[in-house]
């Protein structure tokens, strides 16, 4: 019995040796930086659990490595999986259940805490954030300048700067022409970011980080240059704090704006369209302007997407908002004024501006008189008596007349076929719609022709709307003819 006990003991021991799971995870993390952890599993048969979330943070798989171990002639597989999350507060990695060699094995539970970092103090490097202001309103523009400098004589092989994550801010990069230069023995790199706070309260930015990879030689050996190994040094910036104030109620814009509108005509005929052009210009948070719509009774309104152009200048975040509406009234209408409300920070008050109203007079089309086609009066049929003329015709003449009749018939059929083919070709090339488009002398005439064909094809609709733009008339007409041919109108 003793040998059997020893065999069972060694089997249990081998299972415990071969079947193992190990969690390798740091004790802390830095806010804004990804957190990585590894799970090592060994066994002859391994079933991994699905790891998708930890404390509501999405878990991303970063890859798997495999290796094969041979212990006392037994084969054993070793799997190592790496995972990544981007936490913002303390979290706990729970126990995970693995099925290894038909047995349940669990990882250990681990609590990971948030670690704060201070600005790096070094004679070789410096990373500094400089804000243009520290008190502002929601939606107000703010410039943060990032200045990174390092000593010119450092053997830097790579600089890693992860794209910053400005939490609770909408931001974009401002391109600078001279953002790299030398100063007092340092290489200086500057980056400017335009930020817009999205909520009120005490908001923070940073610290940001740059990873500098350098070659560091081993001076303890005579072959220091060849034995140099790369070293990565992490450089952290200072932290920024902002006091963000709430905008007045029912207001989402802040700055100084102007709004205007214009129409191409005020007197039209029924069935014609009016083009309304809306323009907003000034300084402020143009990206927060909501899409403006028109609802006019007794009229059909078509609009395109607004064209928003912005740039940053000494005045601030400048921009223009342009939108064109195509309005087809059923009768005389009034295009109402369009209002724009914003907060004027300089004068600490809400300003409301609006466009003018436009009274559009529509001339009703004359009613077409019904044309009644009368049937022609019945007439008595005239009967003609058949006149039979008897003539003496020779057999030779009969043959000649027969051959001539065949030739004449063939010629007539050939001519008929030719005329029919030419007519079909002409019809295929020139439809009535094609003729009307080609005969249009300007964009207004072209719109009149095309309005009945709206909502048939989205590409054709876009080309019709472009009649209100500044696109060259000949090019536009050619594109419309091509599209009509494609959709076989």
Q: What are phi and psi of 50, to 5 degrees?
A: -80, 125
Average pLDDT over residues 278-288: 95
Query: Rounded CA gap, 292 and 92, in Å?
Result: 47
Find the radius of gyration of the CA atoms of the chain: 42
254: which DSSP letter? B
pLDDT of residue 219: 52
Mean pLDDT value of segment 251-279? 95
Residues 239 and 303 reside in one and the same domain:
no
pLDDT number for residue 479: 87
Confidence class of residue 218 from pLDDT cuts 50, 70 and 90?
low
Q: Which of 37-41, 138-142, 214-218, 319-323 has the lowest mean pLDDT?
A: 214-218
Distances 169 to 25, 164, 244 between C-alpha atoms, Å: 31, 11, 11
Same-domain check for residues 129 and 241: yes
Question: Is residue 85 located within the same domain as residue 135?
Answer: no
Q: Is residue 466 part of a domain?
A: yes
The length of the chain, given as a count of residues: 489
> Does 165 lie in the same domain as 83?
no
Q: Percent of the chain having pLDDT more than 90?
A: 51
- What residues contact 259, with CB distance under 8 A and at least 6 apart? 278, 279, 280, 338, 340, 353, 354, 355
Confidence bin at 222 (pLDDT 50/70/90): low
Residues 230 and 329 in one domain: no
* Beta-strand relationship, 358-363 and 267-269: parallel
The Cα–Cα gap between 198 and 200 comes to 7
CATH code: domain of residue 301: 2.60.40
* Separation CA 352–CA 341 (nearest Å): 4
Q: How confident is residue 342, by pLDDT bands cut at 50, 70 and 90?
A: very high
Is residue 208 located within the same domain as residue 283?
no
How crowded is residue 282: how many other Cβ atoms within 10 Å of its Cβ? 21
CA 208/CA 146 separation, integer angstroms: 9
Instruction: Report percent pLDDT > 70 for the chain.
Output: 82
Q: What's the mean pLDDT in 337-348?
A: 95
- Provide CB contacts within 8 A for 248, sequence distance 6+: 343, 350
Q: What is the pLDDT of residue 157?
A: 87
Q: Among residues 160, 152, 236, 147, which one has the least CA distance to residue 193? A: 147
In-domain check, residue 322: yes
Residues 85 and 192 in one domain: no
The predicted model gives 74-81 an average pLDDT of: 82
Q: Who wins on pLDDT, 377 or 352?
A: 352
Structure tokens at 136: 């502002």
Domain-embedded: residue 354: yes
- Would you place residue 7 in the very low, low, confident or very high pLDDT band (cuts 50, 70, 90)? very low
Query: Considering the domain boundaries, does residue 287 fall inside one?
Result: yes
Phi/psi of residue 208, each to 5°? -95, 165
- Tell me the two tokens of residue 437: 């488009």
- Which of 245, 274, 304 is the C-terminal boundary of a domain? 245
pLDDT tens figures, 35-64: 999 999 988 888 889 999 999 999 999 999
283 shares a domain with 188: no
Q: Are 447 and 464 in contact (CB under 8 A)?
A: yes
Per-residue pLDDT tens over the stretch 379-390: 444 344 444 444
pLDDT at 150 (0 to 100) = 94
For residue 291, the model assigns a pLDDT of 94
pLDDT surpasses 60 at 127: yes
- Cis peptide upstream of residue 207 (ω within 30 degrees of 0): yes
107 and 141 co-located in one domain: no
Q: Which domain holds residue 229?
A: 125-245
Model confidence pTM above 0.75: no
Position 399 in a domain? no
Considering 82, 115, 148, which residue would you say is the last residue of a domain? 115
Mean pLDDT of 173-178: 80
- Give the model's pLDDT for residue 275: 95
Final residue of a structural domain among 363, 384, 417: 363
Domain membership of residue 314 (yes or no) is yes
CB 156 within 8 A of CB 127: no
476 and 467 Cβ atoms separated by less than 8 Å: yes
Range with lowest mean pLDDT among 26-35, 180-189, 306-315, 433-442: 433-442
- Phi (first) and psi of residue 239, to 5 degrees: -105, 145
Q: What is the DSSP string of 145-179?
A: EEEEEEETTS-EEEEE-PPP--TTEEEEEEP-SS-
Distance of CA 1 to the CA centre of its chain: 75
Q: Do 93 and 142 reside in the same domain of the chain?
A: no
Q: Is position 414 within any domain? A: no
**377 lies in a domain?**
no
CATH of the domain at 105: 2.60.40.10
Going through 176-273 in order, the beta strands assigned E by DSSP cover 180-183, 186-197, 201-205, 209-216, 229-236, 240-245, 255-263, 267-269
Same domain, 167 and 111: no
Angle at 97 between CA 91 and CA 101, to 5 degrees: 150
Q: Which helix (H) or strand (E) holds 274?
A: strand 274-284
Exposed, middle or buried, 413 (CB in 10 Å: 0-12/13-18/19+)?
exposed
pLDDT of residue 15: 43
pLDDT attached to residue 371:
40
Task: Indicate whether 8 and 105 sit together in one domain.
Answer: yes
Q: What is the tens place of the pLDDT at every residue in 466-482?
A: 887 777 888 888 888 88
Total tally of structural domains belonging to the chain: 4
Alpha helix positions (H), 347-489:
395-429, 432-439, 443-450, 458-465, 473-486
At residue 13, the pLDDT reads: 41
Looking up tokens 């309260």 gives 201
Residue 35: what pLDDT? 94
Count CB neighbours of 165 within 10 A.
13
């Amino acid at each position: 019995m003793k040998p059997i006990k020893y065999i069972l003991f060694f089997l249990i021991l081998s299972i415990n040796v071969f079947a193992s799971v190990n969690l390798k995870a740091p004790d802390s993390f830095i806010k804004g930086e990804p957190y990585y952890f590894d799970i090592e599993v060994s066994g002859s048969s391994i079933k991994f659990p699905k790891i998708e979330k930890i404390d509501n943070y999405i878990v991303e798989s970063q890859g798997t490595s495999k290796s094969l171990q041979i212990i006392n002639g037994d084969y054993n597989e070793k799997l190592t999986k790496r995972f990544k999350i981007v936490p913002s507060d303390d979290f706990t990695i729970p126990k995970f259940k693995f099925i290894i060699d038909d047995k349940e094995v669990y990882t250990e539970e681990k609590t990971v805490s948030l670690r704060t970092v201070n600005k790096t103090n070094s004679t070789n490097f410096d990373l500094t954030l400089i804000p243009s202001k520290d008190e502002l309103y929601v939606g107000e523009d703010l410039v943060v300048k990032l200045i990174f400098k390092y000593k010119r004589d450092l053997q830097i092989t790579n600089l890693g700067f992860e794209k910053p994550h400005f939490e609770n801010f909408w931001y974009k990069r401002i391109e600078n022409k001279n953002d790299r230069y030398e100063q007092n023995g340092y290489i200086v790199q500057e980056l400017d970011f335009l930020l817009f706070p999205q909520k009120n309260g005490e908001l923070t930015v940073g610290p940001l980080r740059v990873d500098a990879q350098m070659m560091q030689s081993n001076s303890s050996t005579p072959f220091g240059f060849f034995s140099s190994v790369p070293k990565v040094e992490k450089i952290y910036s200072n932290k920024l704090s902002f006091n963000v104030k709430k905008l007045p109620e029912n207001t989402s814009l802040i700055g100084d704006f102007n709004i205007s509108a214009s129409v191409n005509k005020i007197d039209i005929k029924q069935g014609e369209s009016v083009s309304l052009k809306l323009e907003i210009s000034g300084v402020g948070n143009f990206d927060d302007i909501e899409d403006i719509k028109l609802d006019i009774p007794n009229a059909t309104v078509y609009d395109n997407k607004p064209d928003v152009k912005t740039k940053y200048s000494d005045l601030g975040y400048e921009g223009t908002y342009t939108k064109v509406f195509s309005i087809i009234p059923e009768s005389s209408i009034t295009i109402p004024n369009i209002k724009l409300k914003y907060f004027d920070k300089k004068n600490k008050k809400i300003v409301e501006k609006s466009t003018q109203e436009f009274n559009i007079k529509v001339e009703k089309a004359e009613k077409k008189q019904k044309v009644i086609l009368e049937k022609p009066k019945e007439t008595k049929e005239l009967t003609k008596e058949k006149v039979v003329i008897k003539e003496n015709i020779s057999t030779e003449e009969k043959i000649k007349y027969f051959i001539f009749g065949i030739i004449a018939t063939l010629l007539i059929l050939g001519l008929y076929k030719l005329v029919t083919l030419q007519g079909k070709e002409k019809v295929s090339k020139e439809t009535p719609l094609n003729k009307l488009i080609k005969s249009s002398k300007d964009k207004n005439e072209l719109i009149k022709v095309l309005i009945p064909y709206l909502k048939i094809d989205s590409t054709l609709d876009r080309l019709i709307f472009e009649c209100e733009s500044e696109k060259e008339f000949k090019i536009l007409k050619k594109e419309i003819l091509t599209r009509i041919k494609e959709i076989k109108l």
